[in-house]
């Protein structure tokens, strides 16, 4: 079960420090089920700092398992691409990368870009979490990579910061998973500690991509706690 915090373009360095401190304290690490992977996706400048902070914390407690993701990677391997950050540069610090988020697609990212990014992630041992809001976006993922990626279903009108932000119904998520011919999917869109319960124990949801509700460490901890209880 993946629980991914997508911080988007939010928080300063000082705010990240506060968030991490509160989050570490609020979470009951000893009770955390081994199947749960907590993945934080901060903005690029904070990835290295968080990676080294977690390394130190993990040295003192093996239960404290936190993985990092980037919110994007360059579609280029390396070279003259001002402003880009590549998979080869990120691989020492992250295990996952969010690719193809609808907010990036709205900014012009194409499926060709998504596939280039997926390929670079996979060859650098980074697991891509590819966001799709429609069946054709899933179909456009290179067939050779489909088994190497995690798919996150994020219907655009379910994302809390765009439009009304009404979460997709459990049956709509199930239908989408079946349409794609998958067994399981990560769901994202207006997930919070009150509604996450609805999607648990359904068999076809193997994770959540959490945007707005992840910005508050206590709320994010509550989401984790609710998911963790589903294992008891
Ligand atoms: P939301 O964002 O939880 O604020 O709806 C999810 C996402 O965009 O990944």
Dihedral sign from CA coordinates of 209, 214, 219, 222: positive
The angle subtended at Cα 79 by Cα 75 and Cα 84, nearest 5°, is 50
Tokens 């001002």 sit at which residue? 82
Q: Ligand 1: distance of its center to the CA of 163 in Å?
A: 12
> What is the structure's pLDDT at 63?
83
- Domain extent at residue 184: 2-229
Tell me how many domains the chain contains: 1
> What is the structure's pLDDT at 20?
94
Query: Is position 81 annotated as part of the catalytic site?
Result: no
Atom of ligand 1 nearest to the CA of 103: 8
CATH number at residue 74: 3.20.20.70
Q: Inter-axis angle of helices 13-26 and 44-60, to 10 degrees?
A: 30
Query: Is position 137 annotated as part of the catalytic site?
Result: no
> What is the structure's pLDDT at 161?
76
> What is the structure's pLDDT at 59?
84
Residues of the chain with pLDDT under 50: none
> What is the structure's pLDDT at 164?
64
Look at residues 70, 114, 112, 65 and name the one whose alpha carbon lies nearest to residue 89.
70
> What is the structure's pLDDT at 88?
98
> What is the structure's pLDDT at 60?
80
């Amino acid at each position: 079960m993946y629980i991914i915090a997508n911080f988007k373009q939010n928080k300063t360095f000082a705010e990240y420090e506060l968030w991490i401190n509160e989050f570490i304290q609020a979470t009951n690490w000893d009770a955390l089920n081994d199947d749960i992977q907590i993945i934080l996706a901060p903005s690029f400048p904070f990835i290295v700092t968080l990676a080294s902070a977690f390394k130190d914390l993990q040295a003192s407690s093996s239960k404290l398992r936190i993985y990092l993701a980037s919110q994007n990677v360059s579609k280029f391997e390396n070279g003259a691409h001002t402003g880009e950050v590549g998979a080869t540069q990120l691989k020492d610090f992250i295990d996952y990368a969010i690719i193809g988020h609808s907010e990036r697609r709205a900014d012009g990212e194409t499926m060709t870009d998504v596939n280039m990014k997926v390929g670079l992630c996979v060859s650098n041992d980074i697991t891509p979490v590819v966001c799709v809001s429609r069946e054709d976006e899933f179909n456009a993922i290179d067939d050779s990579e489909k088994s190497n990626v995690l798919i996150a279903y994020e219907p655009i009108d379910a994302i809390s910061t765009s439009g009304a932000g009404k979460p997709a119904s459990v049956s709509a998520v199930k239908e989408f998973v079946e349409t794609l011919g998958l067994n399981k999917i990560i769901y994202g869109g207006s997930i919070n500690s009150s509604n996450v319960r609805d999607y648990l124990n359904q068999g076809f949801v193997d994770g959540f991509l959490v945007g707005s509700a992840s910005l508050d460490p206590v709320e994010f901890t509550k989401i984790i706690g609710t998911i963790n209880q589903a294992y008891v």
